[in-house]
Amino acid sequence: MPDTVPSPSRGRRQSFAAWLTELAKFGAIGAIAYVIDTGGFNLLVYGPGHMLAEHPVTAKIISACVATLFAWVGNRYWTFAGARRSTPLRELVMFLLVNAGGIIIAAASLWISRYVLGYTSQLADNIAGNIIGVGLGTIFRYLCYRYVVFTGGGGAGQPRRTSPAAVPHSD
- pLDDT digits over 30-65, tens only? 999 999 999 999 999 999 988 999 999 899 889 988
**Over 80: is that where the pLDDT of 158 sits?**
no
**Over 80: is that where the pLDDT of 14 sits?**
no
The sign of the CA dihedral 145, 151, 157, 162 is positive
CB contact at 8 A, 82 and 56: no
- In whole angstroms, what is the distance from residue 64 CA to residue 107 CA? 9
At 14, give phi and psi (nearest 5°): -120, 140
How confident is the model over 23-32, as pLDDT tens digits? 999 999 999 9
* Nearest CA-CA partner of 64 in 91, 94, 35, 89: 35
Query: Percent of the chain having pLDDT more than 90?
Result: 42
pTM beyond 0.85: no
- In whole angstroms, what is the distance from residue 136 CA to residue 26 CA? 15
- 51, with CB counted inside 10 A (0-12, 13-18, 19+), is middle
Neighbouring CB atoms inside 10 A of 74's CB total 18
Name the residue ranges covered by the structural domains of the chain. 12-154
Q: Count of residues for the chain?
A: 171
Q: What is the reported pLDDT for 42?
A: 93
- 85, with CB counted inside 10 A (0-12, 13-18, 19+), is buried
What angle do helix axes 88-111 and 56-74 make, rounded to 10 degrees? 150
Q: What is the reported pLDDT for 59?
A: 93
